[in-house]
Amino acid sequence: MIANDIRYDKNLYIRELQSALRDLHFLYPNELPLINIDGIFGAETTEAVLAAQRLGGHEATGVVDFETWSWLFAVRRAGFKESGTIELLGRSIRTDDEDAIAAAVQRLLFELEGTFPNLVAPPPSGKMDSLTKLAMENFQDAAQLPADEIPDEERLRLLMRLYTVYTS
């Protein structure tokens, strides 16, 4: 098995599904339960899948088939883009709130610093300062992503997924 590859690691697949279901909860809090991201497809995840299938007008089977998976991730992308928010560390943060994003990035990098020796966390200033931007660029380089001055939502989601996988 190749470590950290969703094609070979069932727990990463389940975590990715749980991450999408959790994000959809923040878009539809009355329709979808808030779930933990633990890599276990248990009763909590099954309940969230059933709720998502009902929300999407799919047959509520609790089985994540291709149609369900595709729908979940399409709604997730569209919903967060439309709402202008991203879920980081259990909070919905507006994508234009640089200070809130900076504080989350600083904490995420601090937590991952011990796991990935090539990551260096910036001091916790709560500001999108030059050290935070540099730390995010270093993360993007380590993850082989193109560097931007301010990280976009996908880069933040990747950072959050790494945090979820390596700190739980």
pLDDT digits (tens, 9 = 90+) for 25-34: 877 889 999 9
H or E segment at 158?
Answer: helix 153-167
Residue 1: the pLDDT is: 46
In a domain, 29, yes or no: yes
Q: Which domain holds residue 98?
A: 88-167
Show which of 83, 116, 143 is a domain's final residue: 83
Complete DSSP assignment for 32-94: S------S--SHHHHHHHHHHHHHTT----S---HHHHHHHHHHHHHHHHHHTEEEETTEEEE
Show which of 68, 83, 98 is a domain's final residue: 83
Residues shown for the chain: 168
Show which of 62, 83, 104 is a domain's final residue: 83
Is pLDDT of 119 > 90? no
Mean pLDDT of the 63-88 span: 79
pLDDT digits (tens, 9 = 90+) for 135-146: 888 887 777 776
Residue 98: the pLDDT is: 85
Residue bearing the bigger pLDDT, 147 or 151: 147
In a domain, 155, yes or no: yes
Range 33-41, long-range pairs (CB < 8 A, 24+ positions): 37/164, 37/168, 38/168, 39/11, 39/12, 39/14, 39/15, 39/168, 40/14, 41/14, 41/17
Residue bearing the bigger pLDDT, 84 or 141: 141
Based on the fold, state whether residues 73 and 93 are members of the same structural domain. no
Structure tokens at 133: 């931007």
Based on the fold, state whether residues 20 and 76 are members of the same structural domain. yes
In a domain, 74, yes or no: yes
In a domain, 27, yes or no: yes
Residue bearing the bigger pLDDT, 46 or 101: 46
Q: What are the b/e assignments for 115-138, b being 16+ CB within 10 Å?
A: eeeebebbeeeeebeebbbebbeb
